A and B are shown apart, each in its own frame.
Chain A
Amino acid sequence: MVVFDKPHALTDVPLHYCPGCTHGIIHRLVAEAIDELGIEGRTVGIASVGCSVMTYNYFNCDMIQAAHGRAPAVATGCKRARPENIVFTYQGDGDLAAIGTAETVHAAARGENITVIFVNNAIYGMTGGQMAPTSLPGQVTQTSPYGRDVKTVGYPVKVCEMLKELDGATYLERVAVNNVRNVRNAKKAIKKAFENQVKGLGFSLIEVISTCPTNWGMTPEKALKWAEENMIPYYPLGVYKDKTKEAEA
């Protein structure tokens, strides 16, 4: 009896991500949710720009590649065109919380019935390790070589905390994938975010605390530890908003 296997919603294309990059885990969780809900045939994923730009090669559902930051707007157009389809975006911290801030906020404010997967690893991986809006105070990156100085470049953006003030947002949860227990919780949250869309309950966003071993300059295993010890205290895990019961009524 097979206890664990690769989900159907993932293609056989080898992932290009660095060894130990948690994108792979998160891709799998999204694919598992799609499989378990039986929605692959009517799912459309919106890939963004960052390390995950080639997400369109990794999911078996129809995919659209969006410009940097614009995925929630593309998702809005796609969902309004075919409301029976399940539309999700998959975005990094620069895409969602820097250039795409307006699109993120307004998709949430409008209560667009979409699912947003937000991968937060506090750095810009694809372009070689620059500071992200979610980089921690003091964090050394290529564009904060002396550590993020809050006096000159301000403080990190806490997306779940920020979006929860919007009446249009239905479900916001922050999870992590730094150990097996957190991965299983992340899976539950991601599946719920897709289920919410299937039920027509509005806007769901799951923020996933992730790692970037290469640009953090550590082994994959140490990166999981760094996320646990530094990121999770700054970005506490948990449900930030759950209006699903109201929405269901």
Chain B
Amino acid sequence: MKTVFAAQGNIISSLGFTAEENFSAMEQGSSGIKKHNNTKFLPFPFYASLVDSEKLNKNFSALSENENYTRLEKMFILSIADVLAKSALDVKSENTLLIISTAKGNINLLEEANYGGFPEKRLLLAEMANQITGFFGMKNTPLVVSNACISGVLGIITAQRLIGSGQYENVIVTGGDLVSEFTLSGFNSFKALSDEPCKPYDIKRKGITLGEGCGTVLLTSNDKLLNKSEKKIRVAGGSVSNDANHISGPSRTGEELALAVNTAITEACCGKQIDFISAHGTATDFNDEMEAKAFSVAGLEHIQLNSMKGFFGHTLGAAGVIESIVTVETMKRNVLLPSLGFENSGVSMPLNITRKSESKQINTALKTASGFGGCNAAVVFKSV
């Protein structure tokens, strides 16, 4: 199997339009979650992490004269363009594939009269994906991964397998989702939305805060594409599991997430030598409790862990990519980030949750995600 390196990354979120802007804001403990009063989305005020539309459109106009792209497509294109600008990758090569991770894609078009002026087929994820490869002139048909909230991590694991087996040299993994009336009303119908910024793992947690954004990372077996001055990080192992328990509630024991974690760790050959866990931490009662049990089952309860949802909310299919990029940055910079919103533990098993930004040598990190449909995913990043 070929070694799969994580090269350049980009994040577009409420905290900024580059990975650097996002990381700096997070280091300072800033959150992009704000109170919004938009009756188009919900009949009452709600907390969410939203991307600045004015800046999005301004940045897009600077990149392209053709502005006939949806809001989410603009995010994908800007995010990929930033990665390409920082990389020597030949995006038009037959050795390069685009993987798009998304839960709902252009679902906001359903909410607009006449689909916002776009053809109806733009609701189809493959059509949305074709718009993006078309913009960059990529040769290969893009691969769309749509697995609820593990879409992002699964995109990275899929890329690792496709590069590891030599089918492609480079895979650009991009994950994106929007906050919309569709998603807000849905999570609200489940009574899963928090009426204040989310507090993962905290005793006072009240549920999810939704976020929107896009993350893009270049994965490659070509180490010439890595930034020379930086620590080399590789995708060392990854796995997926299913709870086989309930379609909208997580496992009661956490054994299945632990199974994915243990399989990923075995593939990465790192034993329990993990320096940091970027967990899912949605701040719902059931999710956080399940994760606490899972990390206990896996024997990882002592390892420093955070949830990034307090910074930019739950970005659904984008979350796994965005949070993996932050995890890789954490490793390159040797800086641990706090788990924003956490004060006192509200889960039944012990977890070592980070409270403040601190310097720490981080050579191995685990990223996990879980989602509707009972799916769990885990990926291990290691420095070379």
State whether these chains interact. no
- The chain A residues found within 8 Å of chain B, CB to CB, are none
- The chain B residues found within 8 Å of chain A, CB to CB, are none
